[in-house]
Structure 1
């Protein structure tokens, strides 16, 4: 899979981290997370995709990563290179990470 696709019952896991951030630090936080994703996360076993979304008011950032397994997430979070970016991000905003599975997906009729 080379793009983010959200489906129910596909066995994947989403790691969603919602950061509270000062508006003047949002862009820097996004750049730090994007750099870490580009250099390390996307190359890790089990990584499907990483998406970074910024709120229009500048106060929040959502980091949405899809993984093949919870074990892949855990192994990645234990990587010292990844921990450097995690710590840099935590210095810029307040993280609130959790792991999710997709319960339902709804689309408009075509």
Structure 2
């Protein structure tokens, strides 16, 4: 079973996409991201997990996605179905996707 893992090091690779969205369209964007994840993203090679977070004020949605490798991220982003999904999300909100490395972790 795959699950979200946060640890220092190279794997998994984390892609975080922060969407600025009009509060009236936040739920529509969430629904589209959930649908795209179920129908397309989770079937891609190297998929580990997706977590979708919604700001309480309704103006942002964060898509926190993890992959086995950077190559898996690149291949996924090149997939025409994923590109179509990206265009649909960009019609609802302003995306800002970036790949991140965990550099430190702190616990209580």
Q: TM-score w.r.t. structure 2 length?
A: 0.95
Aligned residues: 108
Partner of 1:103: 103
Q: TM-score w.r.t. structure 1 length?
A: 0.93
Partner of 1:29: 29
Partner of 2:39: 39
Q: Which has the higher strand share?
A: 2
Task: Please report the RMSD computed on the Cα atoms of aligned residues, expressed in angstroms.
Answer: 1.0
Partner of 1:51: 51
3-state SS, counterpart of residue 6 of structure 2? coil
- Runs (4+) of structure 1 exceeding 3 A deviation are none
Equivalent residues of 2:10, 2:101 under 8 A apart: no
